[in-house]
């Protein structure tokens, strides 16, 4: 829906083209996204619960991991539910204010996620390369300040992007070729003379992301150099088991998101846009709990103890009620 004002077209809603018009495929899309969303929701909530309830996991590494899980929950909850509702209700519309909100919160969670992954690399560097100074450098106050910095930087970056994106004039209609309001797709609708400021902000953000990548790469080069000098094979295995999940998560997130924002939107196929969007917005929040818990005995142990306690409590309550 659009209104004419002063020879300009003011958009009041956007149409998220996203997936197919075929009703059966829309239902399939709803079911697939529901499964992915529930898997991400359960996985991240289990990690947050395990870390919060087990005092043995109240360490800097797990504190940052809990923050990462909360950010993952937020990022996937911003995009998937609206897309599922649209598929189920056979509609494509999202209000202008809804699109603004979606862009702001998605960019906030994604930006904070990147900052937090960089902080986690620094945490692993100090733990492995400077173990004698670890408790002094990564004390409770420092960890809280670092986490707060990640969240605040996410808010600032998101506000900058959102402000620049929605001050431009949209002359190319209101059809967004994506299942959520994605900035590169919105820029395709902009007037040729009004989107350059947002392009500049995107380039600036990409440079920041590459700086984070360089910092993490240098950190891990030093980490692996130090680990390879450890004479004990068990010690090397333990060090690698705490670093490889983080490196895997970061690589998956950075490669897909950078490709999404740097690829030429005009010449790329719609199917490719959708695939890349799913890879960087849906896959990492779902895979992070699996990657981090698969080789982490502490988290698996904490989850096992918590589940056993829950089962014991329920059984005990049932016995009491029967009596």
Average pLDDT, the chain: 80
Using CA atoms, how far apart are residues 126 and 59, in angstroms rounded to an integer?
13
| Domain that includes residue 249, residue range | 11-322
Indicate the range of 7-11, 32-36, 67-71, 154-158 predicted with least confidence: 7-11
Position 263 scores a pLDDT of 63
The reported pLDDT for the residue numbered 251 is 76
Mean pLDDT lowest among 37-46, 170-179, 226-235 = 226-235
The confidence score (pLDDT) of residue 192 equals 62
The number of folded domains in the chain is 1
Q: Tell me whether residue 2 is in a domain.
A: no
Give 317's pLDDT tier (boundaries 50, 70, 90): low
Please state, in angstroms and rounded to a whole number, the distance separating the CA atoms of residues 80 and 39: 12
Query: Per-residue pLDDT tens for 232-278?
Result: 776 667 666 667 776 777 777 777 776 766 665 555 556 777 877 88
Q: Quote the crossing angle between the two packed helices 283-294 and 23-53, to the nearest 10°.
A: 40
- Tell me, yes or no, whether 3 lies in a domain: no
Distances (CA, A) of 267 to 10, 36, 61, 137, 270: 27, 29, 42, 48, 9
**What's the pLDDT score for residue 6?**
42
Q: Is 176 a member of any domain?
A: yes
Asked if pLDDT for residue 26 goes beyond 70, the answer is yes
Q: Mean pLDDT across the stretch 46-70? A: 88
In a domain, 4, yes or no: no
Residue 150 pLDDT > 90, yes or no?
yes
CATH of the domain at 208: 1.20.1070.10
Give the best-scoring range by mean pLDDT among 20-24, 210-214, 232-236.
Answer: 210-214
pLDDT at 156 over 80: yes
More confident residue, 271 or 183: 183
In this prediction, residue 57 carries a pLDDT of: 80
% of the chain exceeding 90 in pLDDT:
24
The verdict on residue 5 lying in a domain is no
pLDDT-derived band at 7, boundaries 50, 70, 90: very low
CB proximity list for 115: less than 8 A, separation 6 or greater? 149, 150, 153, 154, 212
Instruction: Give pTM, 2 decimals.
Output: 0.83
Let me know: does 75 contact 104? Beta carbons within 8 Å.
no
* 161 against 317, higher pLDDT: 161
Q: Count how many residues are written for the chain.
A: 323
pLDDT digits (tens, 9 = 90+) for 269-303: 567 778 778 878 888 888 888 877 655 666 666 66
Q: Which phi and psi angles does 175 have, rounded to 5°? A: -95, 115
- In a domain, residue 6? The reply is no
The conformation of residue 270, written as its DSSP 8-state character, comes to H
Q: Are strands 93-95 and 13-16 parallel, antiparallel or unpaired?
A: antiparallel
**230 φ, ψ (degrees, to nearest 5):** -70, 120
Q: 252: exposed, middle or buried (C-beta count within 10 Å: 0-12, 13-18, 19+)?
A: middle
Pairing state between β 2-5 and 8-11:
antiparallel
CA 239 – CA 222 distance, rounded (Å):
13
């Amino acid at each position: 829906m659009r209104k004419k004002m002063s020879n300009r077209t003011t958009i009041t809603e956007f149409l998220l083209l996203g997936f197919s018009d075929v009703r059966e495929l829309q239902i399939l899309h709803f079911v697939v996204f529901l499964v992915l969303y529930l898997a991400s929701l359960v996985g991240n909530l289990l990690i947050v619960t395990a870390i919060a309830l087990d005092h043995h996991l109240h360490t800097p590494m797990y504190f940052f991991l809990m923050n990462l899980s909360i950010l993952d929950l937020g990022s996937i909850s911003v995009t998937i539910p609206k897309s599922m509702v649209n598929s189920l209700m056979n509609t494509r519309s999202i209000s202008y204010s809804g699109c603004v909100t979606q862009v702001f919160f998605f960019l906030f969670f994604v930006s904070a996620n990147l900052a937090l992954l960089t902080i986690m690399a620094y945490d692993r560097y100090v733990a492995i390369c400077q173990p004698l100074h670890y408790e002094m450098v990564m004390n409770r106050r420092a960890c809280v300040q670092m986490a707060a910095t990640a969240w605040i930087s996410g808010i600032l970056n998101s506000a900058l992007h959102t402000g620049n994106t929605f001050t431009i004039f949209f002359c190319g209609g209101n059809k967004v070729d994506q299942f959520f309001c994605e900035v590169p797709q919105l820029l395709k609708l902009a007037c040729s003379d009004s989107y350059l400021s947002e392009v500049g902000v995107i380039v600036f953000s990409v440079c920041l992301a590459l700086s984070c990548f360089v910092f993490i790469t240098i950190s891990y080069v030093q980490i692996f150099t130090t680990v390879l000098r450890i004479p004990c094979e068990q010690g090397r295995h333990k060090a690698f088991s705490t670093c490889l999940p983080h490196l895997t998560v970061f690589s998956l997130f950075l490669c897909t998101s950078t490709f999404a924002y740097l690829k030429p939107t005009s010449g790329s196929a719609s199917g490719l846009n959708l695939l890349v969007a799913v890879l960087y917005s849906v896959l990492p929040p779902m895979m992070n709990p699996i990657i981090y818990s698969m080789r982490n005995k502490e988290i698996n142990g904490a989850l096992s103890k918590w589940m056993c306690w829950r089962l014991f409590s329920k059984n005990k309550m049932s016995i009491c009620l029967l009596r």
